[in-house]
Amino acid sequence: MRNRCPIGVAGLILGVLAWQSSARGAPATTTEILGQLPSIEMVSLSPNGQQLAFVRTDGENRIAQVYSFEQHAVISATRVSGQKLRSIEWADDDHLIVETSVTTLPAGLVGRRGEWYLGQSINVKKRHVVALDFQIDDAETMNVLLSPVTIRIVKGKAIMFAEGYFVAGGLLVDGLFTIDPETGRTAKVGESYANRQDWLIGEDGTVVALLECNTDKKRWTLKARKNGHLTTIATGEMLIDNPSLVGLTDDPNVAVMSVREDEVWHDRRVSLANGEFLGDYEPGLGTDRLIVGRLTPRIVAAHEVASDQIRFLDPAIQSQWETIVKALDATRVTFDSASDDRKRWVAIASSQTDGYGYHLFDLDARRGKKVADIYRDLPTVAERKAYGYEAKDGLKIPGVLTLPPGRKPEKLPLVVIAHGGPAARVTTDFDWWAEAYALEGYAVLEPNFRGSTLSEAHLKAGYGEWGRKMQTDLSDGVRSLVKDGIVDPQRVCIVGGSYGGYAAMAGPTLDPGVYRCAAAVAGISDLARFVRWSNGDRLFGQSQAQRYWSRFMGVTGTDDPLLKTISPVQHAAVVTVPMLLVHGKDDTVVPYEQSEVMRDALTKAGKNVEFVTLKAEDHWLSRSATRSQMLSATVNFLKKYNPVD
């Protein structure tokens, strides 16, 4: 099926993308290829399926482009410079919404620098750009987006709904605004003085419900529209985790609200008439994330844990998707986008035979073909598969193992990559970081240690185990691979970013004797210092952030002496292996000083430590130059202290 796509649909666009991304010479190594941002990404079909939007990256140049199937040509190209391109989305067939971000402190405000999101609407046919700047007549506003844009068709026209700030009484207040994608004309249609809000917007553009969370008072309030006004219909307590308003069921008077009760998340059906909870909403066994439609608040799909795939609630749509997955016959297939009539789909597939790229399907013609490789010139894709084992206490730890091409899975050098979060998870999706190490000849293990979001039970198993069993879960994976004969126990290093950076530092300090080197990217070394920073230097009480971290760390607050026992910076003297520290200067999630204090402690203790600063880089490695710098530094470090041969 992949090889029967007509040249007019996929063949020409493949040629256009390949031609446009060949302006510079091919990188010499796989590390250079994967160190760059993807050559093509954020591919999205227009609502009518006649245009394809995508982002093309060449070095530090990032361009949002639109290809027309009818004209067989790119009809719009917008270069993004000085900002980080985060997403593109269709408002309608004529207008593309582009979201970017900058690490800065907005003018007139005091406090920490942060990551602020901006938006613009592009008329792809007129090549006209309108900034989303929230200009209204009766209040000052900030031109920053507080949440992703929502699209609704109002009186036959696409209207954007976006959250932003306006000034009232000298305070920044959360407002809900409507914006015309063509003119930029803006109106404020709602406001909230809470710390966090979820707005539920009906198909006609009416705000049907609002969930407000007050993190200081630890209370939530649900409001629904009655007699033209939002009226409180239910309230409740929240200790740490904010509830969320997910969407509507097939009954427009019943919403789904995700709430945490007795340390367990529940998707509850709630009546918008009186706030009564009507029991759990479960569209099928084993789903953990609900997904609403593009133009509707109604829940239309869910993420299925067992298959790690999207599952559409409409059986006919699910059947279409299963047809595409079967036709691709790839190691991993994920949904990207589809036309509103679902006649054309875009999927992402990864396989050793066909690489890693975007595929376009025309279901009427029953044809499909790859339209672009995500990483240009990538020579091959490493085998990536599920790998599970038991921790010392018997807990099952699912993980992902990536094997180096062309090498027998016997006595291989190993890199353990600890994921961030820690409330996150690793899947068999293509991962550029693991791929880079595998193509250099290393086996790569990415464990879903306890505290990962595989299930409620697996997440809760990590509470109080930061630096304890969450750490030994990683080395238990090493021992399992050694027992299976896949890995040489004398050739193991650990790498990670964010929480994974903490785990990389904790390997040689809290769980010594397993790793021969460690590389930490944006890692946390001093937990008390980090929690105080997260707490925002509050004088009284605990912030929600501090309560969140304390739950994982198993401590009572920043003065708890247990924090020292699990802080790598306090154990620099026991380190016996080389360590590499990498950190971005613009990191607003884990402060740069966390790596500085670890470097200083290791240097004072006379240890072998290398330090790499990523200038103008944030927490997410958003720029090609600094992402490449990080990857090159860690690869060279691994080759030096844990050579492949």
632-644 pLDDT tens trace: 999 999 999 999 9
Q: How far apart are the first and last CA of the chain?
A: 42
Q: What percent of the chain has pLDDT over 70?
A: 92
Query: How much is the average pLDDT of 240-249?
Result: 91
Q: Could you tell me which residue, 558 or 452, shows the higher pLDDT?
A: 452
Estimate to the nearest angstrom the gap between the alpha carbon of 110 and the chain centroid.
Answer: 28
pLDDT band at 525 (very low <50, low <70, confident <90, very high): very high
pLDDT at 539 over 60: no
Predicted local confidence at residue 34, as pLDDT: 94
pLDDT band at 242 (very low <50, low <70, confident <90, very high): confident
CA distance 342 to 500: 39
Predicted local confidence at residue 27, as pLDDT: 46
Does an H or E element contain 139, and which? none
- Spell out a b/e string for 81-101, using b for 16 or more CB atoms within 10 Å of the CB, else e: eebbbbbbbbbbbbbbbbbbb
The most confident of 19-28, 307-316, 589-598, by mean pLDDT = 589-598
Q: What percent of the chain has pLDDT over 90?
A: 71
What are the structural domain ranges in the chain?
1-81+315-376, 383-526+567-641
| Helix ranges (DSSP H) in 556-644 | 562-565, 593-604, 624-641
341-367 pLDDT tens trace: 999 999 999 988 889 999 999 998 888
463-494 pLDDT tens trace: 999 999 999 999 999 999 999 999 999 999 99
pLDDT band at 1 (very low <50, low <70, confident <90, very high): very low
483's CB contacts (< 8 A; 6+ apart) are: none
pTM of the complete model: 0.89
| Number of other residues whose CB lies within 10 A of the CB of residue 349 | 24
Q: Could you tell me which residue, 611 or 135, shows the higher pLDDT?
A: 611
pLDDT band at 106 (very low <50, low <70, confident <90, very high): low
pLDDT band at 261 (very low <50, low <70, confident <90, very high): confident
CATH of span 383-526+567-641: 3.40.50.1820
pLDDT at 510 over 50: yes
Query: How much is the average pLDDT of 611-640?
Result: 94
pLDDT at 9 over 60: no
Query: How much is the average pLDDT of 216-243?
Result: 91
Q: What is the 3-state secondary structure (H, E, C) of 559-583?
A: CCCHHHHCCHHHHHHHCCCCEEEEE
Helices (H) and strands (E) in the chain — how many of each? 12, 35
